[in-house]
Amino acid sequence: MKRFLLGIFATGLLTGSGCGGSDTSGTGGTATTGDATTGGTATTGGTGGDTSTTTSTTTSGTGGGTTTSGTGGAASTSSTGTGTGTSTSSTGSGTTTSGTGGAASCVLDGVLTPPEQCDDGNTIDGDGCNKDCTFSCTKAPDSCPNAETCNGVEVCTTTMSGANVGQKCAPGVQLLDCLACASGVCGSGVCMASVCGDGCVDTIKGEQCEPPGTVKCDAACKTIGANPCGNGVRDAGEQCDDGNLVNLDGCDASCKFEQDLRSNYLQMQFGFDAFCGNDNKLGAAITSGLPQGQVQSDIDQGIAVGTSGFVIKMLGLGSLTGADDPALEVGTMLALPGVGVGYNGANDLDWWYTVNGAFLDASRSPLDKLAGNLTGNVLNAGPGTMSLAVNFFPSSATVLRLSSARFQIPLGPSFAPGSSAGGTTPGHLASEHLDPALQSFASLGQTNLNFAGKLCGNTSAKSLAQAFAPSELLAGNLYTCIEGYSAASSLLDVFVSGCTINIGSLLPVILPSQPDKADPSAPVAGAGAPYKLTTNALKAVTGCVDKSNTAVPLASCLEAAAYSSFFRFAMDRVILK
Torsion angle in degrees (nearest 10) through CA of 548, 549, 554, 560: 40
Residue span of the structural domain in which 18 resides: 1-104
Q: What pLDDT is attached to residue 222?
A: 81
Residue 493 gets which letter from DSSP?
H
The predicted model gives 33-49 an average pLDDT of 35
pLDDT tens digits for range 122-132: 999 999 999 99
Average per-residue pLDDT for the chain: 83
**Is residue 71 situated within a structural domain?**
yes
Integer Cα distance of 490 and 120 in angstroms: 84
Integer Cα distance of 356 and 201 in angstroms: 35
pLDDT tens digits for range 312-334: 999 999 999 999 999 999 999 99
The predicted model gives 46-66 an average pLDDT of 35
Q: What pLDDT is attached to residue 226?
A: 64
pLDDT tens digits for range 385-439: 999 999 988 877 999 999 999 999 999 999 999 999 999 999 999 999 999 999 9
Integer Cα distance of 363 and 334 in angstroms: 17
pLDDT tens digits for range 149-159: 898 889 999 98
pLDDT tens digits for range 460-485: 999 999 999 988 899 888 789 999 99
**Is residue 458 situated within a structural domain?**
no
CA-to-CA separations, 392 to 133, 259, 263, 445, 471, in angstroms, rounded: 80, 29, 16, 23, 11
**Is residue 64 situated within a structural domain?**
yes
Local confidence band at 69 (pLDDT 50, 70, 90 cut-offs): very low
Choose between 139 and 37: higher pLDDT. Answer: 139
Q: What pLDDT is attached to residue 225?
A: 66
Q: Of 163, 157, 110, whose CA–CA distance to 135 is shortest?
A: 157
What DSSP line would sit under 165-177, residue for residue?
A: EEEEEEP-PPPPT
Cβ count within 10 A of residue 538 = 14
Q: What pLDDT is attached to residue 104?
A: 54
H/E stretch holding 491:
helix 491-497
H/E stretch holding 161:
strand 155-161
**Is residue 69 situated within a structural domain?**
yes
**Is residue 139 situated within a structural domain?**
no
**Is residue 55 situated within a structural domain?**
yes
Integer Cα distance of 29 and 19 in angstroms: 22
**Is residue 288 situated within a structural domain?**
no
- Residue 442 clears pLDDT 50, i.e. is over it: yes
pLDDT tens digits for range 227-271: 689 999 999 899 999 999 999 999 999 999 999 999 999 999 999
Local confidence band at 56 (pLDDT 50, 70, 90 cut-offs): very low
Residue 270 has phi, psi (to 5 degrees) of: -110, -5
Q: What pLDDT is attached to residue 244?
A: 93
pLDDT exceeding 70 applies to what percent of the chain?
Answer: 81
Q: Which range among 211-220, 276-285, 400-409 shows the weakest confidence by mean pLDDT?
A: 211-220
Local confidence band at 218 (pLDDT 50, 70, 90 cut-offs): confident
Q: What pLDDT is attached to residue 292?
A: 94
H/E stretch holding 494:
helix 491-497
Task: Return all residues near 266 (Cβ < 8 A) that are at least 6 apart.
Answer: 299, 303, 308, 309, 390, 567, 568, 569
The predicted model gives 88-93 an average pLDDT of 36
Please tell me the total count of domains within the chain.
1
**Is residue 33 situated within a structural domain?**
yes
The predicted model gives 181-204 an average pLDDT of 90
Choose between 13 and 539: higher pLDDT. Answer: 539
